């Protein structure tokens, strides 16, 4: 009876590790997608999302390696490998939980930080030393059909535009369409801050949902690993 139960747990843990490997690959893919999608907006968000994307990729690789201990422990019925697997899962789970709490606490400060970064980036528009900033602003204004941080008047702080706005602010784009004097009826009347922040939050929620799903899988894995380790230990004691 005990032997049959241990085999059942062993196979369940092995199947779990296959799911875990798929989840790890999923994390790596999500990290790569975040890195790709936010790459154009790093001038607004600083290196935070770049670091988050790299962290997701690293965690995915680490989890992939952890699954190796789980497979070894399950197939060979090795007590040490199984316990190492369980402990490493617990550590990763605690780190994910801490990261999730920190992200939830700091999410309300996202708008203020993005506003400051956007206003700072706005000053560097059309600066030959900050070509990436110019491309980022043009991309954001075209994508979200907006102009400036709060509205088009924010561009008055940029002396290089001489009282005008970027051409990417124009409802109908043409070279030089944003030159002064500005016609408010021919440019986007909404600022980019709300669009940018909401877009960032939507992507953050996707990453968060993936993390919650992985955390649930980890809890199941920890339970299976502990049950198998206990069964292995009992079998050794009987022998």
Instruction: Check whether residue 103 and residue 218 sit in a common domain.
Output: yes
Tell me the sheet residues that pair with 48: none
For the chain, the average pLDDT equals 78
Q: Within this chain, do residues 42 and 117 fall inside the same structural domain, yes or no? A: no
Tell me: do 79 and 127 sit in the same domain. Answer: no
Q: Judge whether residue 68 has pLDDT over 80.
A: no
**181 and 222 co-located in one domain:** no
Mean per-residue pLDDT for 2-20?
Answer: 69
Average pLDDT over residues 204-217: 71
Residues 102 and 117 in one domain: no
Alpha-carbon distance 16 to 71, whole Å? 9
Same domain for 147 and 61: no
- 72 in the same domain as 57: yes
Smallest CA-to-CA distance from 159 within 116, 183, 127, 119 is with 127
Share of the chain above pLDDT 90, in %: 18
* Pairwise pLDDT comparison (41 vs 32), residue with the higher score: 32
- The verdict on 100 and 213 lying in the same domain is yes
The two tokens of residue 154 are 């924010």
The domain that holds 130 is classified in CATH as: 1.10.1450.10
Q: Which two tokens stand for residue 122?
A: 């706005």
Q: Answer with the residue of higher pLDDT: 163 or 6.
A: 163
Q: What range defines the domain where residue 40 resides?
A: 2-110+201-238
28 and 90 both lie in a single domain: yes
Identify whether residues 106 and 137 lie together within a single domain: no
Instruction: Determine the pLDDT at residue 1.
Output: 40
What is the number of domains present in the chain? 2
* pLDDT of 2 over the 50 cut: no
């Amino acid at each position: 009876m005990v032997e049959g139960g241990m085999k059942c747990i062993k196979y369940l843990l092995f199947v779990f590790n296959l799911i875990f490997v798929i989840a790890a690959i999923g994390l790596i893919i999500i990290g790569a997608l975040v890195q790709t999608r936010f790459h154009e907006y790093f001038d607004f968000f600083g290196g935070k999302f770049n670091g988050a994307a790299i962290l997701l990729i690293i965690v995915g690789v680490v989890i992939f390696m952890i699954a190796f201990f789980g497979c070894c422990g399950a197939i060979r019925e090795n007590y040490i490998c199984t316990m190492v697997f369980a402990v490493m899962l617990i550590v990763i789970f605690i780190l994910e939980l801490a990261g999730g709490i920190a992200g939830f606490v700091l999410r309300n400060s996202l708008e203020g930080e993005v506003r400051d970064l956007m206003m700072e980036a706005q000053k560097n528009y059309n600066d030959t030393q900050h070509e990436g900033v110019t491309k980022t602003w043009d991309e954001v204004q075209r994508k979200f059909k907006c102009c400036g941080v709060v509205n088009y008047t924010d561009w008055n702080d940029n002396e290089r535009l001489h009282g005008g706005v970027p051409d990417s602010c124009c409802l109908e784009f043409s070279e030089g369409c944003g030159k002064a004097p500005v016609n408010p009826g021919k440019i986007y009347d909404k600022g980019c801050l709300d669009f940018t922040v909401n877009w960032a939050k939507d992507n953050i929620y996707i990453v968060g949902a993936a993390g919650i799903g992985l955390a649930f899988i980890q809890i199941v894995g920890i339970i299976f690993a502990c049950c198998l380790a206990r069964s292995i230990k009992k079998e050794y004691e009987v022998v």
